[in-house]
Amino acid sequence: MLTIGCHLSSSKGYLNMAETAVSIGANTFQFFTRNPRGGRAKAIDTEDINKFHEYSREHGISTILAHAPYTLNACSADPSVREFALNTMTDDLTRMEYTPGQLYNFHPGSHVKQGAERGIELIAELLNKTLRPEMTTTVLLETMAGKGSEVGRSFEELRGIIDRCELSEKLGVCLDTCHVYDAGYDIAGELDRVIEEFDRVIGIDRLKAVHINDSKNPFSSHKDRHERLGKGYIGTEAFERIINHPALKALPFYLETPNELSGYAEEIALLKALYDAP
Ligand code: FE
Ligand code: FE
Ligand code: ZN
């Protein structure tokens, strides 16, 4: 069965997100742990969490993906920005244990003139401060489009972070189709080659989730502007190959396309129709 969902607002809690997901034909969802621009997270409501677990069991919701705020920059040159990133991630990962065994995704960061190598070191340093052996969450590094000084524009950069982490068994990768296409990996024309390269550089076992987005910009544009499926440069046929690829088809897929709920429902229905049952 295709595991498919989209990004949802977390403002009304976990049960509400699960119910919303089911109402649009999804069986998973992604959400921000707090305001995407940062700031405080709402207190965990254990009653909401209990209802969410019960509802998820009944409706077959699995593998939810929490997304860290965009403002989190683990490799800023400014120590106070790195401190904020460390505190935010540590708090998020503590809260994640209320929903054990799920996924937490973050943008590795922007090195801003320090160079990618220094960025990689600082990101690994932060992960080494926050990851704990007893944590049940898998922390995902997102593949980035390479706009500005983003770290994670290549599989090698992600591998560099993983290699410097003491608890690297806690780490995985979330592949964003728009980002990798914009970064110069041709998932539309040469999907097999890109998957082989991912496997050679990072190891396919690290791939835990896919952000499924079309791109408003042509191949290798380093832009990061998401488009609705089939309306951009990647195209519907490529998405059909992506969701059915043997190395990908069991993974959870999350839409982050510019849509209202009704648009997400249409894209979910489209992907389900394109999915070949095993
Ligand atoms: Fe993201
Ligand atoms: Fe993404
Ligand atoms: Zn993006």
Quickly state the pLDDT bin for 40 (edges 50, 70, 90): confident
H or E, element range at 180: helix 177-183
pLDDT value of residue 154: 98
- Which is nearest to 27 in space by CA: 54, 53, 52, 2? 2
pLDDT tens, residue by residue, 132-186:
999 999 999 999 999 999 999 999 999 999 999 999 999 999 999 999 999 999 9
pLDDT value of residue 124: 98
pLDDT tens, residue by residue, 222-269:
999 999 999 999 999 999 999 999 999 999 999 999 999 999 999 999
**DSSP string over 246-260:** TTTTTSEEEE--S--
CA of 114 to the centre of ligand 1 (A): 22
Quickly state the pLDDT bin for 38 (edges 50, 70, 90): confident
CA of 148 to the centre of ligand 1 (A): 15
CA of 52 to the centre of ligand 3 (A): 28
CA of 179 to the centre of ligand 3 (A): 6
User: How much is the average pLDDT of 183-201?
Assistant: 98
pLDDT value of residue 41: 87
| Distance in angstroms (rounded) separating the CA atoms of residues 252 and 65 | 9
- The b/e string for 201-230 (b: 16+ C-beta within 10 A; e otherwise) is ebeeebbbbbbbbbbbbebebbbbbbbbbe
Of the CA atoms within 13 Å of residue 134, those in its CB half-sphere come to 2
CA of 138 to the centre of ligand 1 (A): 16
**Measured distance between the N- and C-terminal CA atoms of the chain, rounded to whole angstroms:** 8
Quickly state the pLDDT bin for 35 (edges 50, 70, 90): confident
The percent of residues above 90 in pLDDT, for the chain, comes to: 95
Max CA pair span of the chain: 50
| Distance in angstroms (rounded) separating the CA atoms of residues 65 and 139 | 10
| Distance in angstroms (rounded) separating the CA atoms of residues 21 and 9 | 11
- Of the bound ligands, which one is closest to the alpha carbon of residue 176? 2
User: Does the structure show a pLDDT above 80 at 213?
Assistant: yes
- Of the bound ligands, which one is closest to the alpha carbon of residue 179? 3
Average pLDDT taken over every residue of the chain? 97
User: Does the structure show a pLDDT above 90 at 37?
Assistant: no
Instruction: Phi first, then psi: give them for residue 57, nearest 5 degrees.
Output: -60, -45
Give catalytic residues, as residue numbers.
Answer: 37, 67, 70, 107, 142, 176, 179, 211, 224, 226, 256
pLDDT value of residue 56: 98
| Domains in the chain with CATH codes | 3-274 (3.20.20.150)
Quickly state the pLDDT bin for 278 (edges 50, 70, 90): low
CA of 201 to the centre of ligand 2 (A): 20
